[in-house]
Amino acid sequence: MPKRIICIADGAADAPSLCPDGTPLERAKTPVLDSMTRHSVAGLCHTIPEGFHPDSDVGNMSLFGYDPRQFHQGRAPIEAAALKINASPDDLIWRVTLCSVTDTQITEPCASSITQVEGEALIQILNNACAQSETSFSNSSFIANSTYRHLLIQKNGRALLQAHDKQRLSKGQPAFSICGPHMLQQAPLPPYIARYPLELQQLIQTASAALRKHTAKANQIWLWGQGSPYSLPDFHSMHGVNACIISGVPLLHGLGHMASMHVISDSSFTGRPDTDLAAKACAAIEFLRHPENDIAFIHVEAPDHCGHLGDSEGKKDAIERIDSELLPLLMDKMPEASIAVTADHLTPAATKSHAHGAVPFVLYHPSLPAQNEVARFTEKECQKGVHLSKDTLLLSLLAKLKL
């Protein structure tokens, strides 16, 4: 069985039409990746099925070889799996994002300047505020997770949301649906708040008042990605190989736990540009040195992080670091391995949000003959290569090519 490494540059793809000076991939100096591309199968693939928001839970589930149309049942339960939270099938788990808003719109969808210590303290403050509120929130509790990303466990929330949907449908309104705050930066805020059940509207108001008293970095919580606990089929049983996920992001840890993969984390693995890429490479190499292990997924959040800040230059730098610090070490220490590089979705820096669209991919192996069709790993160049159908999972193609 060949050793395989799949590098996921989260949000690295951009929209060429929004980048008059070139996308971050086009402007980045990536000699290693360009060399790999010339000995590869390269092109465009789809990670987000129709009807799904272009988010990392969906895109990475797809890259792990699980069709979201069959398996996806919400983002928040995935993050809860990373924390090994025990919740009832009747409960609803919500993703809680700390953000900043005005009366009319979201101004900062992710309060990324909040530290881990600050985030944990704010969650305790929110729980205290809810406990002291005249309105009873006894069926809800906040769970601290990572910096501005947290969770809310709503006891028996599934039945409450179903009742809310029944009421909405009786009025000719659609069932409740909400996306992450990063997708709503230009949208009017009040109509989206009005979609929540009344109890959650009151919870949001209580939380907002508490945040305003204790921090200038965030004044609102956003509840989204809801779902009841669920799991994925065992990765080995589904694909016949042993795999690990190496990431500094709880969402990816959760996907790994749900699929019974080896989850490798370290304090040096972060979701920011300061992540230790060499340490991630070494973790993959160590995992794959064992004969029984076959695939290492390496997830790098930094391009997406910079995209959400509107930092096109930072996104370019993050891509260059992947090329100079991650890929050379993998190729040197694992010269016979197949290496795939791709993204889970587009994150245009111009819009600071995710977007639908096919993402570039490269499947490299040193034994592949040189090809001149796709010269670089960019959005436009990969258009010249293989176009996978929307029903084709990238992991399936990798297995089919026996790379």
User: Mind listing the pLDDT tens digit for each residue in 116-154?
Assistant: 999 999 999 999 998 888 776 768 899 999 899 999 999
Residue 358 lies in a domain: yes
Please report how many Cα atoms fall inside a 13 Å half-sphere around the Cα of residue 280, on the Cβ side.
30
| Domain final residue pick, 227, 243, 265 | 227
| Domain final residue pick, 165, 197, 227 | 227
The pLDDT of residue 151 is 97
Q: Which residues of the chain have pLDDT under 70?
A: 136, 138
Looking at the structure, tell me whether residues 119 and 193 fall in a common domain: yes
Strand partners, 263: 245
Looking at the structure, tell me whether residues 338 and 195 fall in a common domain: no
* Cα-Cα end-to-end distance for the chain: 9
The Cα–Cα gap between 243 and 263 comes to 9
| Count: domains in the chain | 2
State the pairing for strand pair 359-364/338-342: antiparallel
Residue 81 lies in a domain: no
Looking at the structure, tell me whether residues 179 and 199 fall in a common domain: yes
Q: Which domain holds residue 210?
A: 89-227
Using one digit for the tens of pLDDT, what is the confidence trace for 325-348? 999 999 999 999 999 999 999 999
The Cα–Cα gap between 348 and 341 comes to 19
The Cα–Cα gap between 97 and 110 comes to 7
The pLDDT of residue 383 is 97
Report the CATH number at residue 236: 3.40.720.10
The pLDDT of residue 401 is 80
| Domain final residue pick, 227, 245, 263 | 227
